Amino acid sequence: RQMCIRDSLGAQGDGVARLGGEAVFVAGALPGEMVRVEGPGDRPRLVGVDGPSPARAAPICSYFGVCGGCAVQHVGAPLYAEWKRELVITALEREGLSPPVAALADGHGAGRRRVTLHGRKRGAEAVAGFMRAKSHELVAIEACPILKPELAAAPAIALAVTQALK
């Protein structure tokens, strides 16, 4: 089925559409896009973007959309900053507060400072990586391009530790 993402980005970075008055959340979709989805319920899977948003960015990671480690690499910087600011405003409003909220200060630095890697043995084979989004399935990764350089060896270390387990 096809739908237009009209509203906004949800709290988890999903595009929000309205169908029959109900919210539908589509991971990987952006406001203003015409998308194709499949699956039932309020969280169908994105299968195609027919009218991409100018706010769409090319993800920097080949695992994006598969490993579950990042949710919004497809969101360009201006929309990302607006979305993050709106999350703060919404949280404050829920508590009855309405102070001024400044624009997002870019603080991502040299990359992610923390990472949780998982390892499993599959018979004699060892696998290490991230969990697929909303799943218990482990996705093997060799490298994560958003880690700080000091953590670049983390996936290889996780694999070595998993291989050493009995």
Q: What's the pLDDT tens digit per position in 13-27?
A: 999 998 888 899 999
How much is the pTM? 0.84
6 confidence band (pLDDT: 50, 70, 90)? confident
DSSP string, 25-83: EETT--TT-EEEEESSTTSPEEEEEEE--TTB---S-TTTTTSSS-S-TTB-HHHHHHH
Q: Are 162 and 150 in contact (CB under 8 A)?
A: no
Q: Which residues pair with 138 in a beta bridge?
A: 131
Closest CA to 15 of 6, 23, 2, 26: 26
Question: How many helices, marked H, and strands, marked E, lie in the chain?
Answer: 2, 8
Given a cut of 80, whether residue 7 has pLDDT beyond it is: no
Q: Which two tokens stand for residue 87?
A: 């999350």
Tens digits of per-residue pLDDT, 105-160?
988 788 889 999 999 998 889 999 999 988 899 999 999 999 999 999 999 999 99
In the block, tokens 């096809």 appear at 2
Average pLDDT, the chain: 92
CA distances 25 to 40, 50, 71, 101, Å, are: 11, 17, 13, 26
The CA distance from 46 to 134, in Å, is 14
Nearest to 24 by CA among 34, 79, 40, 33: 40
Q: How many of the other CB atoms lie within 10 Å of CB of 121?
A: 12
